Amino acid sequence: MKLARNHKINKIIIHKLVLVYLCIIKLLSAKKLRFIEFLIIGVLLGIIEDLIAIFFATDAKIDLGVIWVAFIVALPFAVFSELVVDHPRFWELFFKKKTAD
């Protein structure tokens, strides 16, 4: 009985999250939504990368404080990556297009 109730609650929560996501999609332009999605992915991957490095390089216990520090460290790099490196013209700075003479 309890398991069935938890399943129903989880289903309702997921449904609400999907509705919120769909509302956000309608409010934001495609460019802003892409930026937010990749920023979230960049932050999550940065946190995971930092936690792996901390786990193997130190004897520190992974707790909420360490995760918070990993988040603070990962955030600026994710923002930099999204604003600069993922800009469509960024790579043109390094690889100039050859012009036909």
Please answer whether residues 68 and 61 qualify as being in contact, where contact means their C-beta atoms are separated by less than 8 angstroms: no
Q: How confident is the model at residue 14 (pLDDT cuts 50, 70, 90)?
A: confident
Give the pLDDT confidence score for residue 50 in this predicted structure.
92
For every residue of the chain, which 3-state class applies, written as one string? CHHHHHHHHHHHHHHHHHHHHHHHHHHCCHHHHHHHHHHHHHHHHHHHHHHHHHHHHCCCCCCHHHHHHHHHHHHHHHHHHHHHHCCCCHHHHCCCCCCCC
Report the mean per-residue pLDDT for the chain: 80
| Interval 17-66: pLDDT, tens | 888 877 777 777 777 777 777 788 888 999 999 999 999 999 889 899 99
Q: What is the pTM of this model?
A: 0.58
Give the pLDDT confidence score for residue 21 in this predicted structure.
77
More confident residue, 47 or 86: 47
- Residues with Cβ within 8 Å of 60's Cβ and at least 6 positions away in sequence, in order, are 54, 66
